[in-house]
Structure 1
Amino acid sequence: MRHIQVTIPTGKRQAVLGLLDEEGIDYVVTDESSSREYDAVVSFPLPTSAVEPVLDSLQEAGVQAESYTVVVDAETVASRQFDELQAEYATESVEEEQISRQELLTQANELTPTFSVFFTMTLISAIVATVGLLLDSPAVVVGSMVIAPLIGPALSASIGTVVNDREVFFTGMRYQFVGVAGGIVAAAIVAWLFQSMLLVPPGIEITEIDEISERIAPELLLLPVALGAGAAGVLSLATGFSIAIVGVMIAAALVPPMAAAGIAIAWGLPVAALGSTVLVLVNLLGVNLAGLVTLWYLGYRPGSWFEISTAQRQFLKQITVLVLVIALLSLFLTGITYTSYQVSTFEETATQEVEAVLAEYDDATLLEIDVEVRDGGAPLDSSFDATQQIDVVIIEVGGSPGLYDEELIATLETNINQHADDDIAVQVRFVTTGERS
């Protein structure tokens, strides 16, 4: 519920009160004597879903140009007429909980701090994420998401499009892209400093750190995370749900990949840096795409009817651009996903071959198998064979002392390589698992 206060311009009193009577709205009128521009102040309660249509009607009645309107939350309204009005606007759907277009713009502005604050907080979140990734600490990475102020600009761009406010749109886009670029640079500088000051072990393989590896070789399945974050962010903003929780989800799609890209740059891994940067861009555009579609689906439009066609053209244009760019960048993620699938399939096949060979040995057991892939670019076409990028297959075999058998090693190497186009190095490590008698 909302409580509305509207100043009535001189000469508009009869039109405004007649409109409220026609809508069946309880109101209180106070004469205004502080200025000749206003005749009175009218106050009245409204269901949340009725705010936008009533305010639009009042603007058509002439209260927009020379007056101001205040909308505040109302905890309780005791009125039979208000109960009837609430029943009239009850829809048993999400529309019943939606805030007005005017409140939506206000919320977006409140969630977007000044640029200096936004940029500083984004840099801090990227630095904290960098530390969390290098420490392989999910808790620290989550902490970096909490302080990231990304939700406001991410949603402002979409809101600016659907209500045809180009200033809001361009401000949101500028914040997002400058913030992401700054975050990657800050992460790279901090990671380089940590490396130079020996705060991380020399020779550390960042590709073996779980929190980093999943973000420098991203897969297409990460795109739905961004789409879900954008849709949930808009729904939260439009219905008054906990926006802070969804803000963390949006930050989860952007902050860790930013930090991973910076770390890859500091370690001199251009392919890994490219993978993380593509993931950041895909997620960023995915959040905007989902937010834009959700807002349009919820029915948000400009206040003036002649602006609707302009907003619709901008909506279609922006949707087309976002879909095309996301599709193009997703080719990269698709290539990585396909490569990962091929490597996983090869590893499963190799495991079956090893188990079949070891089944002939009573005292030999497969402890672990690891397939290592050479550093290389992600393929962009489905004809690529990931087995050509496999560097070595490491097999760990457990058994009694003296299990070492050159014939066993040769058999494993032959059986595994028959599933690859190129020769793959096979290393067999024997581990004593029994006790000496």
Structure 2
Amino acid sequence: MLHLRLISPADRTDAVVSLIENTVGATHLVVLPDAARTPAGDVVMCDVAREAGDELIGGLRGLRLDTTGSIAVENIDLSLSRRADRAEEEAPGEGADAVLWEQLTDATHEESTLTVTYVAFLAVATMLAACGVMLDNAILIVGAMAVGPEFGPLAGISTALVQRAPRLVLRSLWALLAGFAAAMVVTAGFSWLMDLFGLSTRSMIEAGRPNTAFIWKPDWMSFVVAFLAGIAGTLSLTSAKSGALIGVAISVTTVPAAANAAVAFAYTEYAQMWGSTGQLLANLGGIVLAGTLTLLAQKWFWARQRRRTPTAEPA
């Protein structure tokens, strides 16, 4: 269930209440006249089944409540109510399958912003991966994968493509490319510094490194893994099961590939640099393609499911 807290101008409250009352899956309606001060208006609260949330939020935006008032949405972890149970039963589809497009767009927009924190996380992850490839240590590689924040912009690109939002595409693409460029420059400098202090040598990058050699040897299996990870990551975002993102992060070699490219450049090992760059591009492309197709499939499936579900009286 979702809990909605709305601030509505007095002249629009009747329309807001009517929309909620006629939304299958909405219940626990509360209206507090003149309770809001900034902005001034009435406070309207209700609970709605997740599978009916996107339709209701869209209707509220159609009433311009997002510009003249306020729309706040919270997840309800526990709701002990027969009316809530009935609302979830009557709402079309299953909550686990529902996509809250407004929430997804807002989340990916925030995570696709090029911030100092984002670049710092990506740079630290890339430097950790650099240590991993130099030492041929798979544990460090896995740790670097988990730290990397690059899935946010990748999901932002997929969401923007499905929603036809070119500005978000450009914003996400800028965060992705600028973030990796900055992280790789920092990692190249880090490699030179490590070499200066004798903590790393050219022989390390020239060694066979059986545990991490796959990073600069891209093949179709790399693309397949990235594609599957993109599906899992997108599903984890749309179903609010964020824990699955950790599994996604440690299954795709985006950050390690960027790190190996930077280290190889620092030691003028250009064959490894281009191989790692190919691995990076294959992984990024596979995730974006998978994310976009997954969202399109969810959009189609949900629209078809709603058409097949008979309309019920609101709870």
TM-score bucket (shorter structure) = 0.7 to 0.9
In the alignment, is the contact (CA less than 8 A) between 2:264 and 2:273 conserved in 1?
yes
CA gap of 1:96–1:208, structure 2 versus 1, over 3 A, is: closer
Equivalent of 1:53, from 33, 52, 55? 55
In the alignment, is the contact (CA less than 8 A) between 2:158 and 2:291 conserved in 1?
yes
SS of equivalent residue, structure 1 residue 23: coil
Bigger relative contact order (CA 8 A; separation at least 6):
2
Cα distance between partner residues in 1 of 2:145 and 2:203: 28
The C-alpha deviation readout for 1:130-151, integer Å capped at 9, x for no partner, is: 1111111111111112221112
AA aligned to 1:231 is I
AA aligned to 2:296 is W
In the alignment, is the contact (CA less than 8 A) between 2:155 and 2:288 conserved in 1?
yes
2:234 matched residue in structure 1:
234
In the alignment, is the contact (CA less than 8 A) between 1:228 and 1:290 conserved in 2?
yes
In the alignment, is the contact (CA less than 8 A) between 1:150 and 1:247 conserved in 2?
no
2:297 matched residue in structure 1:
297
In the alignment, is the contact (CA less than 8 A) between 2:153 and 2:172 conserved in 1?
yes
Aligned residues: 297
CA gap of 1:110–1:246, structure 2 versus 1, over 3 A, is: farther
Equivalent of 1:44, from 19, 26, 46? 46
AA aligned to 2:236 is S
Ranges in structure 1 where 5+ consecutive residues have no aligned partner? 301-437
Give the deviation of 1:160 after TM superposition.
2.1
Cα distance between partner residues in 2 of 1:36 and 1:284: 44
2:308 matched residue in structure 1:
none
SS of equivalent residue, structure 2 residue 140: helix
Matches within 5 A, 1:94-105: 96-105=96-105
In the alignment, is the contact (CA less than 8 A) between 1:10 and 1:36 conserved in 2?
no
Give the deviation of 1:113 after TM superposition.
6.0
CA gap of 1:137–1:36, structure 2 versus 1, over 3 A, is: closer
Ranges in structure 2 where 5+ consecutive residues have no aligned partner? 301-315
1:169 matched residue in structure 2:
169
2:304 matched residue in structure 1:
none
In the alignment, is the contact (CA less than 8 A) between 1:112 and 1:149 conserved in 2?
no
2:15 matched residue in structure 1:
15
1:72 matched residue in structure 2:
74
Give the deviation of 1:38 after TM superposition.
4.8
CA gap of 1:60–1:266, structure 2 versus 1, over 3 A, is: closer
In the alignment, is the contact (CA less than 8 A) between 1:127 and 1:190 conserved in 2?
yes
CA gap of 1:43–1:196, structure 2 versus 1, over 3 A, is: same
2:312 matched residue in structure 1:
none
2:258 matched residue in structure 1:
258
Cα distance between partner residues in 2 of 1:34 and 1:205: 63
Q: Point out the structure with max Rg over C-alpha.
A: 1
Cα distance between partner residues in 2 of 1:283 and 1:239: 23
Cα distance between partner residues in 2 of 1:202 and 1:263: 10
Cα distance between partner residues in 2 of 1:58 and 1:134: 55
The C-alpha deviation readout for 1:373-393, integer Å capped at 9, x for no partner, is: xxxxxxxxxxxxxxxxxxxxx
Cα distance between partner residues in 1 of 2:64 and 2:202: 71
- 1:122 correspondence with 2:118: no
CA gap of 1:8–1:214, structure 2 versus 1, over 3 A, is: same
Give the TM-score normalised by structure 2: 0.84
Matches within 5 A, 1:315-326: none
In the alignment, is the contact (CA less than 8 A) between 1:236 and 1:246 conserved in 2?
no
CA gap of 1:37–1:194, structure 2 versus 1, over 3 A, is: closer
SS of equivalent residue, structure 1 residue 199: coil
